[in-house]
Structure formats: structure tokens, C-alpha cells
Structure 1
Amino acid sequence: MVQVTPDVAWSILRKNHAFLMKRDHCKPFSKERYNLKNIHSKKYNGFIPKSVIDVASTKGNRGIVISHRKKGHQFRPALNYCRESIRTSDRHIFRHIRILTRGLKCRQDLEMTALARASTLLRAQQRIANRKPMLYKLKAKKVKKAKKEKKASKKAAAAVAAATK
């Protein structure tokens, strides 16, 4: 594997890569991991920097997954990254992100971006947990159930009438 400078790597990735989302009349976005703002720019790119961090939601929407690049294992991609799922309080998660970013010597603005993303994900998870069912859906379920019962009672009455004849 050949090592290249960040400028050369960005010049290669700038025009096209697998995670680039280009649309007419808007800035290009990027879906790559370790890109905290999902903006296609050199500043937020997840491929180039040595110290990167990513914040995502767990599968069951019950916590946060923090991924980061480890020191060493540069030529072994499977061992190069570490993923930790945290399901504790919000403050503990924020503290963990701060400690991790300062230990990895990430940029200060990326630390704040990671905290903002974690906060947004945690708020979204709370909304999902506390969401009440919509009234029109409850009414539709009741109507459906009543129709089913009415249909079943008609069938039973027809069967009784046929049996008595």
C-alpha cells in the first residue's frame, strides 16, 4: 500500500467516489463513515485524516455507537477501526466522546460536531420511545375490528339458519 499526502488523496477523491451524492442545484453530500456532517469537503472527509471519529445510532435505537481509528494497524483495515456501543445516560456519552476526541487529538471543531450529532441522535431516540399512536390510526383499527366481528356474526347466524332448515 502506497502512502500519499492528504492533498493528493483529496485530489483523487474530490471529483468522484462511491459515497458521493451529487444532485442538481445543491451542494454535493457524502454518505461515507467518519464524515460527521455528511458534507463533501476536504475538512469533513472521513477517508483522509489519521484521527477520525464517527457517531451513529445502534440498530435498536437504544444507544450510540462510537467508531474511531486506532493507532497502528495501518496496513490491516479490519483491525484499524474500533467500534463501541454505549447505552448509558446522555452525560456519560458526551463525556466519553470528549475524552475520546482529546485522546485521539482530533480537531476541536470535530469534537463539537460529534457532540452535536450525538445529541441529535439521542433526542431522536427519545422521541421514538415516547411517541403516542395517532388517533386516526386507533380509530381505523377499531372500525376494522368491528367490521370483522360483524362479518363473523353474520356467518354464524347464516350457519345456524342453514342448520335449522
Structure 2
Amino acid sequence: MSNDVAWQVIRNNSAFIRRQRGIQKAFSREPLNLKGINSPNYNGLTNAKAIGVTLAEDNKSVVVTVKKSGKKNLPAKSLIKTTIKRGGARGIIKSVQGLVKGRNARFAKLAARRASQLLRSVQRSAKIAKKSSA
């Protein structure tokens, strides 16, 4: 099935779609959607070159998931996961941008921005936990 046909099937009905009252645009919680917008450009289910950035379990490193374009019919083998633990947040962001640039240059800045957001959210929660314990 082509990407366009798959998008026509899932654009209005998907388990990942999130709608909010008063907002026309629908959001998406797909693991391979960098922006979180329900659109064919950022959809991780239909695009052949989808990229996802998530936090690792230790909350200090980032996992970059890249979809292989040739393994469309084998979903379990179509994803490559790479954990980046390079020193500090800036090193991780730089590594994410370099890794993604080699695969899909269009999403390099988006992936770096997503990694930055995730790392910042962990730092904020750590600060809040320190304040509440003191």
C-alpha cells in the first residue's frame, strides 16, 4: 500500500490522535512523530523515513528510533534504535542532530529540538523534586 493510501485510511481514525476542545488542529502521540501534529508530513506510521526521539529509562540519555525504508512489510525489523549517552545535554543534542542528518536531513533540527525538550523536562522535574524535599 502506498503512503498516500495509508494516510487516507488513518488520518481521521487512529488510536494516536488527540483532539482538544476549541482547537481545530488534531495532535498525534505516535512514537515516530517528532512534532506531534496529525499531518502526512510528520506521520510516523505512513512515512518511509520516519524518526522518533524518546528518553531512555535512565532519564539521562536519549533513544533515537529510525525507520528503515526497505522493511515496510516487516514491522519488527523496520526500526533501528540507537541510545545516545554522550557527555551532557549539549553533546547529546549534537549527536542526535548528526545521526538524523545522515538519514533524513529535513528532520535534523526537529529531532535536536525534541531531544532538547525531553532533556529539559527531566531537569525541571529534578529541580521540583529537590525543592519539595527541602
Q: TM-score by structure 2 length?
A: 0.83
Aligned to 1:94: 93
Aligned to 1:9: 6
Cα shift at 1:96: 2.2
Which entry has the higher C-alpha Rg, 1 or 2?
A: 1
1:55-96 deviation per Cα after TM superposition (whole angstroms, max 9, x unaligned): 111223122111111243332211110112222222332232
Aligned to 2:114: 117
Q: Which of 15, 27, 30 matches 1:29? A: 27
Cα shift at 1:106: 4.1
Equivalent positions of 1:15-54 (< 5 A) are 15-26=12-23, 27-54=25-52
1:89-136 deviation per Cα after TM superposition (whole angstroms, max 9, x unaligned): 2233223222222221342xx2211111111111222233344233xx
Change (3 A) 1:10 1:71: closer
2-side partners of 1:128 and 1:23: how far apart? 25
Change (3 A) 1:15 1:86: same
1:127 aligns with 2:124: yes
Aligned residues: 131
Cα shift at 1:8: 1.8
2-side partners of 1:20 and 1:93: how far apart? 29
Identity of aligned residues (%): 34
Choose between structure 1 and 2: higher helix proportion: 1
Which is bigger in relative contact order (C-alpha 8 A, separation at least 6)? 2
Where in structure 1 are there 5+ consecutive unaligned residues?
139-165
Cα shift at 1:16: 0.9
CA contact (8 A) 2:93 2:112 kept: yes
CA contact (8 A) 2:84 2:92 kept: yes
Root mean square deviation of aligned Cα: 2.0
The letter of the residue matching 1:12 is V
1:13-33 deviation per Cα after TM superposition (whole angstroms, max 9, x unaligned): 111111111233222111111
